[in-house]
Amino acid sequence: MDQPVSTRPATILMTLTYVAGFVGAFIGFATLAQDPPSLAIAALVAVTLPGVLSFLRHAVFNRSDAARGGWDFGTRNNFQIEVGLANLAWGIYALLAVVLDWGLQAIAASFLISGFYFAAVTIFVLASGDIRQRRIGGLIGIASWATVTIWLGILGMTAG
C-alpha cells in the first residue's frame, strides 16, 4: 500500500510562486512608469521565477502537488508534468528576453503568454462546470493573476 504523500513541498512552492508573482507585478507597474519604461526585473521575478517554481511543483513534486489538489491517484501523472514543462517554457522565454536584451515588447510578451494561459485555465474550469467549493479560492487567484499579467503585458507593449 502506498504511503500518504505530503502536501508540504507543493504548498511551499505554491506560496513562493504567489509571492514571487505579486512582488514581480508590483515591480512591473513601478518600472513601467519610469523613463525609459522597463519590465526586465519584473519578468525575472513574476514570470521566470514562478515558471521555474511551477515546473518544480508540477513535474518534480507532482505527487505532492496532486495530493495538495486532492487528486493523488498514487501514480505519476504525465500530463501534470507536461503542464510543468509549459510553465518552465514561458519562464525560460522571459529569462532569454531579458538576458539577450530582446526589448520591452518581447519581455511584455512573456507576461501575455503567461496571462493568456491562466485566462484559458479559468475559462476552461468555468465552462467545464468542475468548480468544487475548495477550488473557488484557487480559481479566483488564477483569474486575478491572468488579469494582472495580461494588463502588464498590454501596458508593456504600448509603453515602448
With 90 as the cut, is the pLDDT of residue 79 above it? no
Question: pTM here?
Answer: 0.91
Segment 93-121 shows an average pLDDT of 97
Segment 60-78 shows an average pLDDT of 82
Secondary structure (DSSP) of 26-63: HHHHHHHTSSS---HHHHIIIIIHHHHHHHIIIIITHH
Confidence of residue 30 (pLDDT cuts 50, 70, 90): very high
With 80 as the cut, is the pLDDT of residue 134 above it? no
Q: What share of the chain is helix, strand, coil (3-state, %, to 5)?
A: 80, 0, 20
